[in-house]
Structure 1
């Protein structure tokens, strides 16, 4: 059994690799993972130890090889200088939780549509309408985030090729 890297234990890339090692024994070691990813072992170590930032191409490879598309979101919202300001953090949630959140958000969509029409019908946004517009934007941001979480769940469960991944969902 391979040793666990205590210094990298909290690193998101390390955790994803170790989880993926359940399905691919080669990923149990940095040497094996680096070979599969196509990068130097010491570079992978430095990424997992947070001493360097991975390149976007490396993140794409890790996300694909580890079946961890959430790594792409993590990189974009936590490490990319541009994404930090524009990409919302999304989580890998269970399908039932995502469904409840989306249905709850969509229950208020008619109210949001009416509010947006009321604000914009005269082509002028007044000072008293700005808080209402802010509410509309925040509601739409919430729906967008929930939509991304659903897409992430689908990607993890079905993969890029559209094949269902039974390892991530209970079999019935």
Structure 2
């Protein structure tokens, strides 16, 4: 199950072992506000999310919040919260696979004339998808590193 299948604020609070009342008090907000955030009736402001990250010991929550707050923007990839070794291995594997396919040289060839031709488009889209995977793995590593602190 993805961490986005349920409310991220509630999941972080429950993982921290906090009740709504205790969390609301620690966050300096009302229980009603917390309930609204945990039902997605309202998105919490950045300051509240910052405090949630600290109080719940869940720095990844900031990333998840930004992804949700961005709406339909697909620039921020969905990530899996991994431990540091798994996140490191995933990133290194993606880099090795990209290099072994010589995607850097293929991208240079496509970009050389400044135009992506219809014939080049499928390969270009494959390369961009692989780069998206690299970005995702790098973000997972960043979140894993923050989690370890």
TM-score by shorter chain over 0.5: yes
Moved more, 93-102 or 37-46: 93-102
Which digits, 9 at most, give the CA deviation of each residue in 1:25-73, with x for residues without a partner?
xxx3322211211211221122223333322322222122212122222
Query: Root-mean-square deviation (CA), in Å?
Result: 2.0
TM-score, normalised to structure 2, is 0.82
Runs of 4+ with deviation above 4 angstroms: none
In the alignment, structure 2 segments of 5+ residues that lack a partner are 1-5
TM-score, normalised to structure 1, is 0.72
d(CA) in 2 for partners of 1:42 and 1:124?
54
Greater Rg, structure 1 or structure 2? 1
Establish whether residue 11 from structure 1 lines up as the match of residue 1 from structure 2: no
d(CA) in 2 for partners of 1:81 and 1:123?
32
d(CA) in 2 for partners of 1:135 and 1:49?
37
Q: Secondary structure at the match of 1:128?
A: coil
In the alignment, structure 1 segments of 5+ residues that lack a partner are 1-9, 22-27, 159-172
1:27-38 mapped onto 2 (5 Å cutoff): 28-38=18-28
d(CA) in 1 for partners of 2:74 and 2:114?
29
Q: Which has the higher contact order (CA 8 A, sep 6+)?
A: 2
CA 1:15–1:128: 2 relative to 1, 3 Å: same
Offset of 1:79 from its aligned partner? 4.0
